[in-house]
Amino acid sequence: MNRQHFIVRVGVALYLGDTVPPAKDERSYSVLAERLATGHGYSFPTPWYPFTAADAPTSHWSFLYTAFVAAVYAVAGPHPLAARLVQAVAVFKLHPGESLGHGVLKAAPAAAPIAAPKPAVKAPVRKTAPPAAGKPAALPKAKAVAAGGDDDWESF
């Protein structure tokens, strides 16, 4: 990420301020992070949407991002602006490229042999004759088991 992108991110964070919109997903993450930072775990103080009860553990939201915001809240208090600014700095430091094709992903030529396509593996040679008339060999056995005439699943 270049300096201009960083400035835009910080500008947007300042523009959004220290609040979260009431009916957006961002509100859910902020409330979860605040609860996590104060020792209540991944739970909401009130019923949340139609599927999450109050004070019940939830896994409907990303736990890693919530933990990141909770860590910021634990240090700076429940201030969404602080989380946005820390995120802007983290992205600036961890992703130096201007797009997905630059930066961290481009800076790893040593990993190219690992990601290179592997040669095709040859299928093992069949040592038994194929089933007669193109029917799978297991079909007669499956019919016998389904009819109750044979309950030997080991040989199936």
pLDDT given for residue 27 in this prediction: 93
Closest CA to 74 of 44, 40, 47, 48: 40
pLDDT in tens, 65-76: 999 999 999 999
Structure-derived torsion over alpha carbons of residues 77, 79, 85, 90, reported in degrees to the nearest 10:
50
pLDDT in tens, 106-138: 444 444 444 445 555 666 666 666 556 655 555
* Residue for token pair 């739970």: 43
pLDDT in tens, 22-63: 888 899 999 999 999 999 999 999 999 888 999 999 988 889
- Say whether 142 sits in a helix, a strand or coil: helix
109: which DSSP letter?
G
